[in-house]
Amino acid sequence: MTPTLPRLLTARDLPEVELQAAALDGEVCRVADSWASIADPDDAWRRAEALADRLGTVVVAARGTAAWIWGARAAAPRRLEAVVPSWARHRDDRSDVMVGEVLIDADEISQVGRVRVTTPTRTVLDLLRADDWSADAERLVRTLLVEHHVDPRRVTGLVRRHGRLPGRRRAATRLRTLVDPLVV
């Protein structure tokens, strides 16, 4: 019986040179630090699974990293962004993953493969409340709102639910400028 290769390939499966040659031949494409067949669907599972070893099972992919997993962003960020609930004590010395403590409830987290990811609604909220608002961040928010059918009223509900969440007023203001103010 011929062994089958995993859906995502790394240097543990095949030498990096062979993976790069397969990419030049148009057989595989890069997915974060992994490689995948071009015949496989480019979906949230594949993107999340490509980050599973770097993120682990405790932290939750958030902000730009979550936006990439949900398909709103073309490439994975170089430095991954993740969160842990404020009650969880987590220490991580890896320089390629930025982990912050936040107020977050279980219904704001999705399990995608082996990775925990903020839901599209929570991802929108986190992007809206960030200090570094840009045209790129606005595009990510608009993409998530449309492609994942995120109801702006649910984002507003999260703002109200988390009364002490930093940047919540900024998020509410930005959301009103992006959507019809009568909706939110």
Helix (H, G, I), strand (E, B) or coil at 79: coil
Token pair recorded at residue 31: 């997915």
pLDDT digits (tens, 9 = 90+) for 38-51: 999 999 999 999 99
Question: What pLDDT sits at residue 6?
Answer: 84
Question: How confident is the model over 120-148, as a mean pLDDT?
Answer: 96
pLDDT digits (tens, 9 = 90+) for 13-28: 999 999 999 999 999 9
In Å, how far are 98, 99, 104, 138 from 34, measured between CA atoms? 20, 22, 29, 28
Question: How confident is the model over 95-112, as a mean pLDDT?
Answer: 92
Q: What is the dihedral of CA 159, 160, 161, 165, to 10 degrees?
A: 50
Average pLDDT for the chain: 91
182: confidence class by pLDDT, cuts 50, 70, 90: low
